[in-house]
Chains A and B, each alone.
Chain A
Amino acid sequence: MSSIPHAHDPAHGHDHGHDHAHDEHGHHGGYGGIMRWITTTNHKDIGTLYLWFSFIMFMTGGSMAMAIRLELFQPGIQFFNPDLFNQFVTMHGLIMVFGAIMPAFVGFANWQIPMMIGAPDMAFARLNNWSFWLLPFAATLLISSFFMPGGAPGVGWTMYAPLTVQMGIGMDFTIFAVHLLGMSSILGSINIITTILNMRAPGMTLMRMPLFVWTWLITAYLLVAAMPVLAGAVTMSLTDRHFGTSFFNAAGGGDPVLYQHIFWFFGHPEVYIIALPAFGVVSQVIPAFSRKPLFGYASMVYATSAIAILSFIVWAHHMYTVGMPVQGQLFFMYATTLIAVPTGVKVFNWVATMWKGSLSFETPMLFAIGFLFLFTMGGFTGLVLSLVPIDIQLHDTYYVVAHFHYVMVAGALFSAFAGVYFWLPKWTGRMYDETLGKWHFWLTMIFFNMIFFVQHFLGLAGMPRRVPDYPLIFETWNKISSIGAFGFGLSQLLFLYVVLKCIRSGEKAPDKPWEGADSLEWTHLPTPAPYHSFETPPVLK
């Protein structure tokens, strides 16, 4: 743990100009070394912990993705037996969704929300500590399922019943890990909601909050509403496995499709739990590098809320092939296509923000534009998939895999990269290497499309997802996709290097390195942000 870079250290010792009074007598609550990180209640420390944790999970889930692509490099079974392959598929999904993407954005929330609303810290500082420290235990439980008799569950991240009943004890480990991860998310969300509603500086009205804060407020409500539903679904699977409850077993009066309904009632809001904070980051970055205010602030807030509400009434579009009545299919199809309206409003707003601005293309802006371009493609394939007849052809094929990676990777991950490059100077007091940052962007962009663009063709031509082997006609695209995956994975080591280089030896950053940035952390705080900021609320005009 002690190797975890210390967000505050670089400035410490040679930059006392703006040091806070607390710094004089042990600014880390009296503990040093590892105990500082275990006992910390500081939002910045906890934000750092979340971000490093999610990066470790990103690399873990990423290596599983590369194992999957290795097996799929050519037809036939070469490296992993189908059982282990399914375990990789399952764990890759769970780790990336719950271990990498979600904690990454909670990390951003921890660092940024108090600074952006002029609050000294999060509302529940100790709860905040616990929310984070549940995660390493959850991750350990999740990954240790590989070493249980029978291995990790090979059921996919969706954990459909009744396949879950056939799994070994690793399934129980996974279920308990999901419980812990859910608990962490719910506690974190309660904290975020309370902080935003109660701790804004005087004059920081709701409609003056930076859009990132708005998207997190809405996301936190989604989490509080959706995570208990997931916990319910996996708990019902647990009792079906061990206590003969037959919730999802037709022979006992249950219904396997009930599981799918419950899961996707959580699962679709989950998509927006991941996407909305990403929208928030991009809505900070694009105006900053366009040197122009966000085009339609109010309509962005309304669009975000509309997306959040719609996300609760579209879940069954993941289940068009279960055999719903035609009325059900039509309802879910119409409701799903409606999401295109507020999503379109967002895309138009971002483009209109850039229009007639004064654009510059530092790494955060490159990732934000990459996000905008590729996320919109993911949005359009989403529209294609929302249409029942077309979805019936494409459901459970690689087209769907391509679609949700355009949303999750080009959407959420690109925006997380944009956020890291954007705020790294504020967090560390140092600038990252712009040339290497741009290399990271272009490598990531090219390899991403190499992996996933071709998967649209695979899905259209009829390759099912979650298979360890495939018919010969799919070989070419799979080869290209696999090469892209190795390139993508290796490119992320460059990201690690850029971040470490920035922390250790980056040039000193000015208080406001981005000309167009206008939220409180840039305008009212020195760089690096002091360990305790806004102990007296800023004065907002």
Chain B
Amino acid sequence: MMSGKSLHRAMLVAAALAGLAACGLAQAIEWNFQPPASPIAEAIHTLHEYVMILVTVIFVGVFGFMFYSVYAHRKSVGHKAEQFHENTTVEAIWTVIPAVILIFIAWPVTKTVIAQKDTSAPDLTIKATGIQWKWAYEYIRGEGEGINVVSELATPRDQIEGRAPKGEHYLLEVDNELVVPVGKKVRIITTAADVVHSWWVPALAIKQDAIPGFLRDTWFKATHTGTFRGQCAELCGKEHGFMPIVVQVVSQEEYTRWVADKKKALAAAADDPNKKWTAPELIARGEKVYAANCVACHQANGKGTPPAFPPLDGSKVATGPKAGHIDTVLNGRPGTAMAAFGKQLSDTEIAAVISYERNSWSNKAGEVQPAEVKARRK
């Protein structure tokens, strides 16, 4: 018999578990793949269900035998052990049947593998470059050719660090979404600037590693419009969990409009590297660049998280000669986590962020003009 106390305790535990289950049910519970949005994703969905049904039937069959044995062949019910062993017929059967089942699995799967690898004749080709910790997209062939966007996490750090309530698309929102037209074959070429990343959008069923120094490709054709969200799938360092991928699939008309608007906006935003800026202008612009590119490691207060990510406040680089500071930002520091920003940021952006770093916290080391950055590019 349970004592009153332990009964009470058991009830508390049961209540806690029930409460947990209830708060679980209050939220959406995901059991399966995300709803498919491409023919390959649909094929994978079907294949997975097919294989799961097969293995579940086999599992129930095999363990049906085992649990029957556990029930009926117990010593405690007086079952006497028979001493049979080895039976060539039985052993041949249980070797051949699984092999045959495998053929039934392999056949439909093979067709999907071949379809998945067929990146020929795309309508639109986009290069996705993984950079610690964001994605750069270049529309390199098809409608929209020439558009470049850098896409990074839009979730504010306050939400991540628990100082603000988390939004609906927490960690799955970016500043610049990848916009593509519906029903068109989109080829994605992946590569990376630093370490291996992986470009993954579950609803479109593509996951392709982005490998520094190499080009790889994959494709998708979205079956309907909508916003599809994914994340980097390959461990790529500190902010690996914070470099989402958001694909916005739009109608052909909307896409054409988007391309026109984007091209206009890009032309307007192109900075003239020879323009002379005032210090406050540069610093204000630099603060934005810093928040987007530097703050994860060097922190908002410039103190960094040493020793891997050194402080900028009072640092020799950020208060010393301009040339050294510019070189560090342009080329990175090989062998450390400091990335090369020369290819990702314009001269103006680099000049702005350097000016910000040299004139923030306790630093007072003067501003840097875009022309000075341009001069130090090799």
Binding site for B on A (CB under 8 A): 75-78, 81-83, 86, 89, 149-151, 154-156, 160, 162-163, 165-166, 168, 241, 249-251, 255-257, 290-299, 321-323, 325-326, 329-330, 333-334, 337-338, 340-341, 344-345, 347-348, 351-361, 369, 372-373, 376-377, 380, 383-384, 387-390, 392-393, 395-397, 457-458, 460-462, 464-477, 479-480, 483, 516
B102: nearest chain-A partner, CB-CB? A337
Docked complex Cα distance between A251 and B166 (Å): 41
B73 contacts A392, C-beta separation under 8 Å = no
A151 smallest CB distance to B (angstroms)? 7
Knowing A297-B85, A473-B30 touch, does A166 contact B65 (C-beta < 8 A)? no
Knowing A150-B308, A322-B216 touch, does A387 contact B47 (C-beta < 8 A)? yes
Knowing A257-B211, A471-B170 touch, does A397 contact B70 (C-beta < 8 A)? no
B51 contacts A387, C-beta separation under 8 Å = yes
B48 / chain A contacts, CB cutoff of 8 Å: 384, 390, 393
Docked complex Cα distance between A296 and B43 (Å): 40
Besides A256-B212, A344-B98, A458-B30, 18 other A-B contacts (C-beta < 8 A): A77-B160, A78-B162, A166-B337, A255-B213, A255-B214, A295-B86, A326-B114, A326-B117, A333-B106, A356-B82, A357-B79, A376-B62, A380-B59, A393-B41, A396-B234, A466-B240, A473-B30, A479-B24
A contacts with B: majority SS: helix
B110: nearest chain-A partner, CB-CB? A330
Docked complex Cα distance between A257 and B213 (Å): 11
A291: nearest chain-B partner, CB-CB? B81
A149 / chain B contacts, CB cutoff of 8 Å: 307-308
Docked complex Cα distance between A458 and B231 (Å): 14
Docked complex Cα distance between A115 and B75 (Å): 29
Knowing A330-B110, A466-B235 touch, does A359 contact B75 (C-beta < 8 A)? yes
B239 / chain A contacts, CB cutoff of 8 Å: 82
For the A-B complex, the count of residue pairs with Cβ-Cβ distances under 8 Å equals 317
A155 contacts B166, C-beta separation under 8 Å = no
B77 smallest CB distance to A (angstroms)? 10
Knowing A76-B160, A249-B213, A460-B33 touch, does A82 contact B238 (C-beta < 8 A)? yes
The residue that B55 contacts in the complex, of A168, A256, A291, A380, with Cβ under 8 A, is A380
A158: nearest chain-B partner, CB-CB? B235
B18 / chain A contacts, CB cutoff of 8 Å: none
B78 smallest CB distance to A (angstroms)? 8
Docked complex Cα distance between A360 and B78 (Å): 11
The residue that B159 contacts in the complex, of A76, A82, A356, A466, with Cβ under 8 A, is A76
B180 within 8 A of A: no
B241 contacts A469, C-beta separation under 8 Å = yes
The stretch from B202-210, B267-275, B362-370 touching chain A is B202-210
B117 / chain A contacts, CB cutoff of 8 Å: 325-326, 329
A155 contacts B305, C-beta separation under 8 Å = no
B235 contacts A351, C-beta separation under 8 Å = no
B110 contacts A75, C-beta separation under 8 Å = no
Knowing A330-B110, A457-B30 touch, does A337 contact B24 (C-beta < 8 A)? no
Number of interface residues of B (CB under 8 A): 107
User: Can you list 19 A-B contacts with CB-CB less than 8 angstroms, sorted by A residue number?
Assistant: A76-B162, A83-B309, A86-B235, A154-B238, A155-B235, A160-B234, A250-B213, A296-B85, A338-B99, A341-B99, A344-B94, A344-B95, A345-B91, A380-B55, A380-B59, A460-B31, A462-B33, A462-B231, A476-B29
The residue that A359 contacts in the complex, of B74, B99, B195, with Cβ under 8 A, is B74
B284 within 8 A of A: no
Docked complex Cα distance between A77 and B229 (Å): 21
Knowing A81-B305, A333-B113, A472-B166 touch, does A291 contact B106 (C-beta < 8 A)? no
Docked complex Cα distance between A355 and B71 (Å): 11
A464 / chain B contacts, CB cutoff of 8 Å: 200, 231-233, 241
A256 contacts B211, C-beta separation under 8 Å = yes
B113 contacts A461, C-beta separation under 8 Å = no
Knowing A166-B337, A341-B99 touch, does A321 contact B233 (C-beta < 8 A)? yes
A460 / chain B contacts, CB cutoff of 8 Å: 30-33
B196 smallest CB distance to A (angstroms)? 6
A360 / chain B contacts, CB cutoff of 8 Å: 74-76
B109 contacts A461, C-beta separation under 8 Å = no
Docked complex Cα distance between A333 and B105 (Å): 11
B317 within 8 A of A: no
The residue that A389 contacts in the complex, of B24, B205, B208, with Cβ under 8 A, is B205
B207 contacts A341, C-beta separation under 8 Å = no
